[in-house]
């Protein structure tokens, strides 16, 4: 394994990706990165983060209606879906 550069972690667990590494990976401000832990160490790769709702548009309409009328909340998406299925 070749070490390109090193950095220190802050008390909040933050690290600065060294400039040489950012250039090698073509990383710019706002880029997302993913971390994978292997038996050899940590792998950092550029990635795209896409948000995808666990609910269909029809389910969201029901949720919005319930929230505005009853103020009901659910601790997980699965519980909300189960409730919606019973409506």
Q: What is the mean pLDDT of the chain?
A: 86
pLDDT at 65 over 90: no
Per-residue pLDDT tens over the stretch 18-38: 999 899 899 999 999 999 999
Same domain for 58 and 44 = no
* pLDDT at site 70: 62
Rounded to two decimals, the pTM is 0.51
- Number of independent structural domains in the chain: 2
Check: CB of residue 17 under 8 Å from CB of residue 27: yes
Same domain for 37 and 62 = no
Check: CB of residue 22 under 8 Å from CB of residue 4: no
Same domain for 46 and 58 = no
Calpha distance 60→53 (Å, rounded): 9
Residue range(s) defining the domain that contains residue 60: 52-87
* pLDDT at site 46: 92
Same domain for 66 and 47 = no
Same domain for 67 and 32 = no
């Amino acid at each position: 394994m070749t070490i390109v550069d090193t950095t220190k972690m802050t008390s909040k667990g933050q690290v600065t990706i060294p400039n040489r590494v950012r250039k090698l990976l073509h990383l710019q401000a706002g880029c997302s990165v993913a971390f994978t832990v292997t038996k050899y160490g940590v792998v950092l790769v550029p990635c795209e983060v896409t948000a995808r709702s666990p609910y269909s548009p029809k389910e969201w309409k029901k949720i919005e209606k319930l929230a505005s009328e009853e103020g009901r909340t659910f601790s997980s998406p699965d519980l909300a879906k189960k409730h919606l299925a019973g409506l």
